[in-house]
Structure 1
């Protein structure tokens, strides 16, 4: 595997950074805080992402927050790597809320993302599919660190050979025997795990049976409660209907009270309409219609008789003609008075020529004659006023006319002197006299026509005709009054009869309603009793169910299944331990023949190369996380890395990782190698030999060497200069 390019859109301090790597040795020299470790973590994140291995949920590594982009940019990487003869371009967005990974095949950039199936965490894990290595295994093998392996149990589950005098193997076998003894062989044994698990299973089985019995009882109670609830709903609906009916009867009682009171009151057409609208039965409606028809028939007959006997229109016409005739006669009398005045004027004009002497001699006589004339005028005026006051306008008018004429003659007698009027004045009087006579003739003609319409010839006959009609009208009013009295009496009789019938019917209705209401109240009482009984039954049922509230069939079944699973797992574990014990010896021979010799030989060669032959025997213990043990030749003593100096421990970690890396690479392809300031505790001689070994390793593997010291670059200068396979990268 070769990593060719890396682009960091945002990762820690790096933003918009691009790196191109050599296929061999890549030396990164920079002081501290220049971003070397960030770049190394960016390579791992670009290849595998930032999630933990061997967990079900998507749990992120602690360094996720540490390497968030400093500049608030996208948390994004793009890496190009080559496997075999194929080159891949992997684009990752590392944001938790929307982490994405897309894989393309160079040079066409054909997208292969959907070719790889997602796992249970919705991850596609392209490198794991390519190399067969998880992120933890990849970093364990390729990243040289001063730490034990993180995923040793997943790297190579093998054991040492039983023929070797390894106390650990015997300890494992002894531990297997102890576990098998603690588990036990029989389920009846009380002191073994198997017996306890069987006892627990029997107990949970009884609890499950008890819970199922309780559940059956609860189900029966629930079904009963459902039936009671339906019955309760039906009873409540009946109660609601009965209460509605009672309210309806209460309203009807109010209407009944109003009807009872109205049955004593006089009735009109609007009242009939009200009675017909509130009629509760056909019988009641028939009663109202019959009474109404009887009253209407009587009213029509009386009205017809009155209209036939009482000519109201004729009397109105007579009154109108009388008023008109009175006005005509008054105008005629006024014309006669004027004619008398004109006659007086004519007579006075003829006497004015007598001598003055005669005037003086006859003055006393004229005064006496005028006084007599005026006295007669006063008498006739009194008679005329009396005639008008007593309803005889024609006679009163004639007396008033004579009074005016006598009064005018008295004036003429008293003032019989003066000169003759001018001929012009006489002519005007003559014309006015002719006009008045014509108007009097017209009035007489109109009066004659009016009298003819009433079949009379004179004014007195007309007055007699009018008095006759008035008397007839008075008689008609008397008949009307008698008819009204009869009508009132008839209506009272009909109303009384109808009221008695109505009240009898109302009494019957009230009795029926009271009986129905009493029955309804009795039903309500029974319903309330039944509802109370149902409530008590439901309360008792809920109380019984509450007694089993803590009982859960699901929980009991889960506990039973857990107990059964525990027993089954113990049995399986017992079988597995027996199988492990039986196969341990067979596995030891396989290890010696295949993995263990190769890994130990490689680790020994690396250690011998670094130390110049001072240490040449190294062993890796797969049963202890591939811990490294070293044989000290001078003392012939086996020591672990904890017992060594810091420099020697670093060299043992290097030998361990390189041995495992080369062994795994034989099965896949050459994996890259990462060293981050690993040689701090190396002396110059051992560093020189180590770098020479790594340089030879870089001919096949891609190496990333990060350092903050100049001596690595100085020692590697002959190798790096003039070679396209290696490259020096300056950071910072």
Structure 2
């Protein structure tokens, strides 16, 4: 049985992965976690599915969940294998909900699925019917590992006896004769399968050379395009970053222009906070802080006159209230003087004699003249008092002047008649005089209260106090005005100095931004020119690749490999037919002997070869699951395998599996699987074992999975010489 190809559509870490196998040794070399064991489990799943053996219902193996596809997709495998000269293609959907298995016969892909009936597990058992082996038996025999056999009780019936062998020999001989006629004996014969296969190989070799040349050209162009694409991506990313820097620089330039314009405007207390918070550098912040300290010092030196103003305002209010009262008082005094003059002018005249009246008349004239003179002097004094700011003194003087003038008029008019009407007028005048005097007294009391509020004894003292306060306030206001003027000048000088220093700094930043913008624009132009060159280079590369795309190296290689494989297969069949009779006769002789001694003999030969003669006798006990026992040659002691070293235990399992495979009842050799089995082998025993495996690979298909280089190194000469072997590097 030979497996030709495995496709893991979705299995574990592998997705849409395809592996083509050589008929001999397939060495998979890769580090841990590369998926080697997943490929091995994928082969078993592709052949047998994921259900347990020897059960009545569908029970899935633990590996079913372990090897679900990592990526979203179908849980699916496809395997192509060759058995009894026929090539089969087995396609499996492993998902429980949509489980399906379909078998096709190459090369026409004739579907054979319905020829195989389902068992109670809903499984058609294609491989079991082809080989006679269940999944458990197949893995027990072919998978060389350090584990006991899982289905040992089902293994013994697979060994062939002599009675069963003879009919099979005749059938095989007849089949071989028919195959010889069909294949032919010479490769140059054009009408035979062998000749046609040789011609096809030569044709495919020529096509491969042409495709290889095209592939080299395409590979070089692809590499150049990939490098150009990567450089384009880097340049575009760099251009994007430069554009972002240019945009930021432009925004900074606009902000600088706004700050420049704002530096000419007056600065308030809130503006200082804004300038300090938005300072772009330590130097700018220092300029703002220094200017702000200067403004703070200027504002601290301002002289306030609020206290004087607080005193002057109520005092001025009392003055404005008292001045009308004084004018009212003067008017009342004038009214009182008028009443007095009227009373004097209406007094009765004396009844003296004419001469006496004449003498008295002269006297009255002289007295009136004196009174009028005194009245004139008092009037002048009153006028001087009013002009000098002494209204009380002026009012008294004017009142006295009016009284003297009235008495003078009275003297001239003394001697009038008396009567009832005169008496009534005099009475009214007296009452009016009393009323006026009362009003004058009330006003005097109100004026006294008003001036005493300010600590003055009379109105004149109050006026002096008001005059002093007016002068003090005027002086303070003058000082305040001078201080404000000086403050304004200092603030103007500070603002001008601050603005000049700030604008100098802004000029420097603007120049730096303009220089940076110039460099950025130059660099962006260079990038754009380079991008254009790369785009033209990629366009030319794609054009050249289109010319060579019609030739596929992988397809040509696969076709050549298939042609060579077909030729080798025909050659192997031809050689096998020539030796078939001797081999069958020898096989009959082997089968006539009891199977167990033959198995023991085979295991002993294997262990002797592997250990270089250190151990020569091995026994497998079929009653205990083919348990292994070893004879120690020096002391002739029988050892259980667990008593041996780790490396020897692995080698005993190797001898057990290979001996059982050798004697299993199979029409064709089974494949062999080694998954990092040689970890504990020393160099010498590993070399001997690999020699033996290479010998087995002449008949058996061998799958060797390893993460160690020494297997690759030891097998390298063989892998180079024999085309039936292949190295698969993963990752």
Q: Say whether the fold is shared (TM-score over 0.5).
A: no
TM value normalised by structure 1: 0.40
TM value normalised by structure 2: 0.40
